Structure 1
Amino acid sequence: MTEITTVGVDLAKSVFQVHAVDGEGAVVLRRQFRRNQMLEFFQRLAPCLIGMEACAGAHHWGRELGRLGHNVRLMPPSYVKPYVRRGKTDHADAEAICEAVTRPSMRFVPVKSEEI
Structure 2
Amino acid sequence: MTIVFLGIDLAKNVFALHGVDQSGRAALVRPLVRRDQLLEAIAKLPPCTIGMEACSGAHHWARLFERFGHTVRLMAPKFVAPYRMSGRRGKNDAADAAAICEALQRPAMRFVPVKTELAQCRLAVHTVREGWMR
TM-score, scaled to structure 1: 0.97
C-alpha distance in 2, partners of 1:30/1:45?
A: 13
Please state which structure has a larger fraction of its residues in helix.
2
Aligned to 1:29: 28
How large is the RMSD of aligned CA atoms in angstroms?
Answer: 0.7
Residues of 2 paired with 1:89 and 1:56: CA distance?
A: 21
How many pairs are equivalent? 115
* Structure 2 gap segments, 5+ residues each: 120-134
Q: CA deviation at 1:92?
A: 0.7
Structure possessing the higher radius of gyration over alpha carbons: 2
Contiguous gaps of at least 5 residues in structure 1: none
* 2:55 pairs with 1:52: no
| 2:82 is equivalent to residue 79 of structure 1 | no
The 5 Å alignment of 1:1-116 reads: 2-31=1-30, 32-86=32-86, 87-116=90-119
- SS of residue paired to 2:118: coil
TM-score (norm 2): 0.84
> Deviating runs (4+, > 2 A) in structure 1?
none
For 2:43 and 2:56, locate their aligned partners in 1 and report how far apart those are by CA, in whole Å: 22
Amino acid at match of 1:35: R
**Percent of residue pairs identical:** 57
